[in-house]
Amino acid sequence: EILLTQSPATLSLSPGERATLSCRASQSVSGYLAWYQQKPGQAPRLLIYDTSIRATGIPARFSGSGSGTDFTLTISSLEPEDFAVYYCQQRDNWAGTFGQGTKVEIK
């Protein structure tokens, strides 16, 4: 089972700032790396799939990159609605795992 480690656990930033979230895998991921946003009391929302493709309706300020074992979600300029918890997720041979999450909070 591939383990995903996200860092940092918490990111304290102000609106307008750039957010960089990291996701490191215990072994190489095939490319099926996705990112989700979750707000309190809501189901997760898919932001990015296949490492770098934005899901339908996701603003261009969200971008994903990486390969192998190191992946990054970047939010270029934080909007008030972006403060939430973010998870990475991989699927390797139909066995999926999630990272433990990064909370992006208002500084």
Site residues, another protein (CB under 8 A): 1, 31-34, 36, 38, 43-46, 48-50, 53, 55-56, 87, 89-91, 94-101
Q: How far apart are CA 62 and CA 72, in angstroms?
A: 11
- Closer Cβ to another protein, 28 or 77, answer by number: 28
CB of 60 vs another protein, minimal distance in Å: 18
Smallest separation (angstroms) from another protein to the CB of 73? 13
Cβ at position 97, least distance to another protein in Å: 6
**Length of the chain in residues, anyone?**
107
How far apart CA 75 and CA 99 sit, in angstroms, is 18
Residue with Cβ nearer another protein (15 or 50): 50
d(CA 91, CA 100): 15
What one-character DSSP code corresponds to residue 15?
A: T
